[in-house]
């Protein structure tokens, strides 16, 4: 199974909000997902190659995109976001989001390579629940947006160390080493970028009311499962800190 993970820090209602999250696409469906993404990028945005017209939350959901749609009846960037969210659903994807107001809870920027941040642990626990329940005989492969070599190296080491050292069935659920890929060539990472952008706005939906329908659509794609001895309902979109 293929997990695509990204993060976003934004100012929402005058406060810094961090969102960490991702998308899982079942591996047998990923090639068709990629073909669909390229097709609508070509038809809607004019892309000629897969790397053209990268979909990013800060452009697709910019206020200018909504103003254009109000003025002309259409925004190609919003159309692209609509189609991406639809593609996630059609290809049986699920989304995961951890958001926080606490600036001390680092996300990918781990303080050292042997420590994994609390939001990251929570994200991996939710992803493991999906693997246990939906793909118990498979392993999940983690893919992250490529940033800078040293940062990626430290993050990969922290994640790998956690998967290796933590108690439980982690080695059965995930491949040991994550990969880092340029988001421009990864439809899965572009999907994750849109999701974490929306995730940050869970902190205060009143600041961008035009985003509410997209946030609600994102919520519909979350994963729900039972956890703990009391089998309480858990959801893969939540706040930490």
> Which domain CATH number covers 200?
3.30.420
With H, G, I as helix, E, B as strand and everything else as coil, classify residue 121.
Answer: helix
Domain count, the chain: 1
Q: Is pLDDT above 60 for 235?
A: yes
Mean pLDDT value across the chain: 91
Span of 70-79, 97-106, 196-205 with lowest mean pLDDT? 97-106
Q: What is the pLDDT of residue 114?
A: 66
112 pLDDT band, cuts 50/70/90, is low
Q: What is the pLDDT of residue 104?
A: 61
Q: Which residue has the tokens 């080695």?
A: 171
Q: What is the pLDDT of residue 109?
A: 52
Going by C-alpha positions, the residue among 82, 92, 178 that lies closest to residue 139 is: 178
Q: What is the pLDDT of residue 102?
A: 77
What distance in Å separates the CA atoms of residue 14 and residue 53, rounded to the nearest whole number?
A: 30
Mean pLDDT calculated for residue range 63-72 = 96
In this predicted model, which residue has the larger pLDDT, 102 or 50?
A: 50
- Dihedral sign (CA 167, 172, 175, 176): positive
Q: Are 140 and 131 in contact (CB under 8 A)?
A: yes
110 pLDDT band, cuts 50/70/90, is low
* DSSP code for 206: G
Mean pLDDT calculated for residue range 57-83 = 96
How would you classify the pairing of strands 179-181 and 94-100?
A: unpaired
Q: Is pLDDT above 90 for 93?
A: yes
Q: Are 142 and 170 in contact (CB under 8 A)?
A: no
Q: What is the pLDDT of residue 149?
A: 76
Q: What is the pLDDT of residue 80?
A: 97
Phi, psi dihedrals of residue 180, rounded to the nearest 5°:
-125, 125
91 Rama sector, left if φ>0, alpha if ψ -120 to 50, beta otherwise:
alpha
Q: Are 22 and 3 in contact (CB under 8 A)?
A: yes
User: What are the angstrom distances between the C-alpha of 159 and each of 100, 125, 127, 129?
Assistant: 20, 12, 13, 17
What distance in Å separates the CA atoms of residue 220 and residue 108, rounded to the nearest whole number?
A: 26
Beta strands in the chain (DSSP E): 2-12, 15-25, 94-100, 141-145, 179-181, 224-227, 232-235, 237-239
User: Which residues form the domain of 78?
Assistant: 2-239
Mean pLDDT calculated for residue range 202-223 = 96
């Amino acid at each position: 199974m293929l997990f695509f993970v990204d993060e976003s820090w934004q100012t929402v209602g005058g406060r810094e909000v961090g969102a960490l999250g991702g998308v899982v696409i079942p591996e047998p469906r990923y090639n068709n997902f990629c073909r669909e993404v390229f097709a609508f990028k070509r038809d809607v945005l004019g892309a000629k190659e897969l790397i053209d017209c990268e979909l990013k939350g800060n452009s697709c959901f910019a206020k200018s995109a909504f103003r254009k749609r109000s003025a002309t009846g259409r925004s190609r960037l919003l159309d692209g976001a609509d189609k991406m969210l639809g593609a996630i659903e059609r290809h049986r994807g699920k989304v995961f989001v951890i958001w926080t107001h606490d600036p001390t809870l680092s996300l990918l920027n781990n303080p050292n390579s042997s420590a994994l941040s609390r939001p990251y642990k929570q994200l991996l626990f939710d992803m493991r629940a999906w693997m246990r329940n939906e793909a118990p005989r498979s392993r999940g492969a983690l893919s992250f947006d490529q940033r800078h070599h040293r940062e990626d190296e430290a993050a990969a080491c922290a994640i790998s160390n956690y998967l290796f050292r933590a108690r439980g069935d982690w080695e059965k659920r995930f491949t040991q080493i994550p990969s880092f890929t340029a988001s421009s060539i990864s439809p899965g990472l572009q999907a994750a970028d849109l999701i974490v952008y929306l995730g940050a706005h869970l902190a205060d939906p009143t600041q961008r009311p035009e985003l509410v329908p997209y946030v609600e659509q994102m919520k519909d794609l979350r994963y729900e499962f039972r956890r703990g001895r009391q089998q309480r309902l858990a959801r893969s979109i939540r706040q930490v800190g």
